[in-house]
Amino acid sequence: MLIQHHSAEADTPTDVEAPAPKLPAIAATADALLDAAMLKRIQPEAFSPHALGRLEDLVLQLARVQSAGHLPLDLLVFDSPQVLVFAADHGISDEGVSAVPQQATRERVQQILQGRAPINTLAETMGFDLTVVDAGVASHVVEAGAAAPSVPLLVRKIGYGTRNMVLGPAMSLAQAISALQAGMDVVRHLPGNVLALGDVGVGNTSCAALLLSRLCGVPLADACGRDHPIPGGLDNTQLQNKLEKLSAAASRHRKAVKPLDALAALGGFEIAMMAGAMLQAASERRVVLVDGFVAGAAALVARGLCPPVADYLVFTHRTIDPGHRLMLIHLQVQPLMDMELRVGQGVGALVAWPILQTAQALLEH
């Protein structure tokens, strides 16, 4: 198959004239003294080290986030946990890269707003406040004159969906920076010290695969591959088409290698906002629960912009996307769970939340 390469230099964003985004200061959390003190408290007697496995690692990470260098840390305290669901549409949907039509984004958002989606159940069960952010859905999410939704909706539209990145950059650098700032701004106005992030957006696993490929050097065929057919998913022909379209986009924007440039060329509004939300939350020493593949792509961008953010991110769930497995390897993290969810919305983050509460309980006793 011959892929047409248009001259792409002209419309690929680069940082030549880019205003640098204002990023908050984030402190790395490494603290060997604290680690030793915490391990001493939680390791059971009459067992060899690391008997509590990755629960120990989790306790240490959470303690580092919450200690702010003030020894001794007595207890982990989780206060007013928040879940933010960022929704947006993607121009690349025009290329037939998704198994569901673009309007499913709006339908899924409306279900959440009406309290009928899995994330509503989970937020209620786990005691999270749920907020939906319209980062750029391709239509009005709420009709004029419709009843007010039962879940708060913040309309922070950067656009009505991104542009088709096969034809040009998904967004301008200015839009990418606006989206980052909007994500920060949303978090700044939320209470609590725990933030879970989820996404809704048909086509956004294409962005995640492209960002993974670009920022980690993973071959695109692996980043958007598939281990086995998924019922209701893409068939082999459609998958081949997706790979060709993503290859065309990657080729067109081959100069967009810096995190911000890659985000603008290959990302999405919800991904940019999640990255901003992670940066802001980390700067405020909140624990950040990262859901699946798409939120993981936002984490890649955030880490590229400000590496210490990684200390604050708890990767909660591995989705069935094969690219997600590679992404987590590149991030050098193991997720807390692997339940094969592919519902987005932050559901994975909230299913895993009780594990953090267990870590908290182990430290209390």
Q: How far is the CB of 45 from a second copy (least distance, A)?
A: 6
- Applying CB under 8 A, among 17, 32, 40, 53 the residue interacting with a second copy is 53
- Mark the segment that binds a second copy (CB under 8 A) among 147-155, 178-186, 210-218, 342-350: 342-350
Q: Based on CB atoms, which residue is closest to a second copy, 4 or 48?
A: 48
Q: Is residue 36 at the binding interface for a second copy, with CB under 8 A as the rule?
A: no
- Applying CB under 8 A, among 18, 37, 39, 100 the residue interacting with a second copy is 100
Q: Is residue 145 at the binding interface for a second copy, with CB under 8 A as the rule?
A: no
Q: Is residue 114 at the binding interface for a second copy, with CB under 8 A as the rule?
A: no
Q: How far is it, in rounded angstroms, from Cα 301 to Cα 186?
A: 18
- Applying CB under 8 A, among 212, 218, 301, 351 the residue interacting with a second copy is 351
- Mark the segment that binds a second copy (CB under 8 A) among 21-29, 75-83, 181-189, 225-233: 225-233
C-alpha neighbours within 13 Å on the C-beta side of residue 138: 20
What sign results for the dihedral spanned by CA atoms 3, 4, 8, 13?
negative
Residues with Cβ within 8 Å of 219's Cβ and at least 6 positions away in sequence, in order, are 213
Alpha carbon 63 to its chain's center? 23
How many chain residues touch a second copy (CB under 8 A)? 49
Q: Based on CB atoms, which residue is closest to a second copy, 12 or 358?
A: 358
What is the DSSP annotation of 75-109? Answer: -----S-EEEEEEE--GGGGGT-SSS-THHHHHHH
C-alpha neighbours within 13 Å on the C-beta side of residue 60: 18
Residues with Cβ within 8 Å of 121's Cβ and at least 6 positions away in sequence, in order, are none
Q: How far is it, in rounded angstroms, from Cα 83 to Cα 284?
A: 16
Q: How far is it, in rounded angstroms, from Cα 356 to Cα 79?
A: 13
Q: Is residue 347 at the binding interface for a second copy, with CB under 8 A as the rule?
A: yes
Q: Is residue 49 at the binding interface for a second copy, with CB under 8 A as the rule?
A: yes
- Applying CB under 8 A, among 63, 117, 176, 260 the residue interacting with a second copy is 117
What sign results for the dihedral spanned by CA atoms 355, 360, 363, 364?
negative
Q: Is residue 357 at the binding interface for a second copy, with CB under 8 A as the rule?
A: yes
- Applying CB under 8 A, among 145, 232, 237, 332 the residue interacting with a second copy is 232
What is the DSSP annotation of 260-316? Answer: HHHHHHH--HHHHHHHHHHHHHHHTT-EEEE-SHHHHHHHHHHHHH-GGGGGGEEE-
Q: How far is the CB of 320 from a second copy (least distance, A)?
A: 7
Q: How far is the CB of 97 from a second copy (least distance, A)?
A: 15
Q: How far is the CB of 243 from a second copy (least distance, A)?
A: 20
Q: How far is the CB of 184 from a second copy (least distance, A)?
A: 30
Residue 32, judged by CB atoms within 10 A of its CB (0-12, 13-18, 19+), counts as exposed
The bridge status of strand 82-88 relative to strand 129-136 is: parallel
- Mark the segment that binds a second copy (CB under 8 A) among 66-74, 206-214, 224-232, 298-306: 224-232
Q: Is residue 55 at the binding interface for a second copy, with CB under 8 A as the rule?
A: yes
Residues that bind a second copy (CB under 8 A): 44-55, 99-100, 104, 107-108, 111, 116-118, 120-122, 124-125, 230-233, 320, 336-343, 347, 351, 354-355, 357-358, 361-362, 364-365
